Amino acid sequence: MMDLETSFKAYLAHLCEALGHNDRESGLRGYCQGLMLPIRRKSVEPLAAHLEPEHAGARHQSLHHFVAKSEWSDEALLEQVRRWVLPHMDPTGGLYWTIDDTGFPKKGEHSVGVARQYCGQLGKQDNCQVAVSLSVATAEASLPVPYRLYLPREWCDAPERRQKAGVSEQIEFATKPEIAAGQLREARQSGAPDGFVLADAGYGDDTSFREAVSELGLQYAVGIRSNTRVWAPGTAPLPPEPSAGKSGQPRSLLRRAPGHEPIGVKDLALTLDASHYRTVIWREGTCTALSSRFAAVRVRASHRDYWRPTLREEEWLLIEWPEGDAEPLKYWLSTLPLDTTLERLVHVARMRWRIERDYQDLKQEFGLGHFEGRGWRGFHHHASLCIAAYGFLVAQRLIQGGSKKTLRSAIHLPYPRITCHAGPQRAQRHVADSITTLRWRIAAYIARRLQRCPFCSASNTDLLTQ
């Protein structure tokens, strides 16, 4: 097995194949090395200052050109990342394509895509940028691959703003579900393997998105809101109205009638007998097993089916109603097969949790939201490079047998301080010997996942503190 620094050099050489020109290789190597350093801010200026303190100005200029102006392909780079990481991901427990978006609070109105919209990081409407990503995941690891900024309609309809931010004329307005469906199509066209598609209600409630997933031959388990309407088990739209004795074209559309209409999923959940609900454990948490009460029934989606000539296929409605709660908590629609067990349905639907860990690591460790430019190209280049750096560490953790458990401790550190069972003097020597090398950065990341001191292998569940 290659040592970490040799592996990292080989990984960077693999990524450089996507750049198109040899003169871009220095920028990629420097930027990814800078993202690995234990520094608080990971925008271009501090990266340059830490990489070459004696020539910070020149280094800043070259890195800025590489990330903000150079015309290399984000899609090609992220495809290289996927090709490196995916072979180390074991799909025997299931492969998943997880869709989500993340927000970056922003001041002012000039940064590309910034608008007043919902920001998950803040938990409310505010001035921010929002990006949509598609992650590939297994039971042990996950990694965002496609990543694209959501461009609000007020930006799409403002030619001057678009021109200043470098937004191509080919970029048209698309909703977040439309962006996500496009990312799935592109992934399939590039040879991505089959997997279950997972998303929250912001995507799952969009009928066109669910239909697009099914058209790609993929199964899904997606969240929906409590007021989403479906046809209850054993019910369906009425067939087209008979045309006997009437002139004109025969009627071909499904129909509804008073007393024969779809029902909201919350109302449906409340009508189910208590025997439908069972307690299911879906995974082992850090401290205890994660479990709740669930029920699953077969339904048909009802959105505008009165404009359809044929019935929609039945699918699963999964309902979570925790013991002691006054009403159900969450709902999912899923196209998993008819013979799928309740335990399997819950396991698949709940695998979406991994995307939250991706964004936490990318923001805290790799400065995903630290880009200070305003342009479309720079925003995406910076994100692609952050994902590339993160992808190497994901692969290394898998190669070295990382734990399936996810530690919840914060991992954003300006500089590391170690609690080492070998003693404080040895701990200080560990830091002094390795603070300036990539070996520290990579080993410490893997150690946090393995719950080990990165240098003496002593077990320690609280290795690092801020």
Question: What pLDDT does 356 receive?
Answer: 83
| Closest C-alpha to 14, from 87, 83, 90, 89 | 83
Which residues sit opposite 368 in a β-bridge? none
Question: Are the C-beta atoms of 330 and 376 separated by less than 8 Å?
Answer: no
Question: What pLDDT does 447 receive?
Answer: 53
Which residues sit opposite 100 in a β-bridge? 133
Q: Which domains does the chain have, with CATH numbers?
A: 1-88+366-406 (no CATH), 94-236+260-364 (3.90.350.10), 410-466 (no CATH)
Which residues sit opposite 6 in a β-bridge? none
Question: What pLDDT does 442 receive?
Answer: 57
Cα 126 from Cα 202, distance rounded (Å): 18
- Assign residue 246 a region (left: φ > 0; alpha: ψ between -120 and 50; beta: otherwise): beta
Tell me the pTM.
0.84
Question: Are the C-beta atoms of 458 and 452 separated by less than 8 Å?
Answer: yes
Question: What pLDDT does 440 receive?
Answer: 52
Mean pLDDT in consecutive groups of 10 residues from the start of the chain, 466 residues: 83 95 94 92 93 92 96 96 94 92 91 93 91 94 94 95 94 96 93 93 96 96 97 92 66 86 96 95 80 96 90 96 95 97 96 86 93 95 97 92 39 34 42 42 53 40 34
Angle between helices 438-450 and 376-399 (to 10 degrees): 60
Kindly state the tokens that stand for 118: 């919902």
Question: What pLDDT does 298 receive?
Answer: 97
Q: Which residues have CB under 8 Å from 234's CB, separation 6+?
A: none
Q: Is residue 307 classed exposed, middle or buried when 0-12, 13-18 and 19+ CB atoms within 10 A define those classes?
A: exposed
**CA separation, residue 339 to residues 196, 198, 298 (Å):** 16, 20, 11
Question: Are the C-beta atoms of 279 and 321 separated by less than 8 Å?
Answer: no
Residue 358 sits at the vertex; the CA angle it makes with 168 and 28, to the nearest 5 degrees, is: 55
Question: Are the C-beta atoms of 84 and 11 separated by less than 8 Å?
Answer: yes
Alpha helices in 137-253 (DSSP H): 153-156, 159-165, 176-189, 201-204, 207-215
Kindly state the tokens that stand for 354: 């991994």
Cα 77 from Cα 387, distance rounded (Å): 10
Please report the beta strands in 172-308, taking only residues with DSSP state E, as ranges in sequence order.
196-199, 220-224, 229-231, 263-264, 278-284, 289-301
**3-state secondary structure labels for all residues of 429-448:** HHHHHHCCCHHHHHHHHHHH
* Paired sense of beta strands 196-199 and 220-224, if any: parallel
The residue to which tokens 């939201």 are assigned: 369
Task: Count other Cβ atoms within 10 Å, centred on residue 40.
Answer: 11
Question: Are the C-beta atoms of 332 and 299 separated by less than 8 Å?
Answer: no
Question: What pLDDT does 5 receive?
Answer: 84
Instruction: For the chain, report the end-to-end CA distance as a whole number of angstroms.
Output: 32
Question: What pLDDT does 217 receive?
Answer: 95
The residue to which tokens 């292998």 are assigned: 457
Side-chain half-sphere exposure of 13, counting CA atoms within 13 A: 6
Question: What pLDDT does 435 receive?
Answer: 36
| Closest C-alpha to 223, from 359, 379, 334 | 334
SS3 124: strand
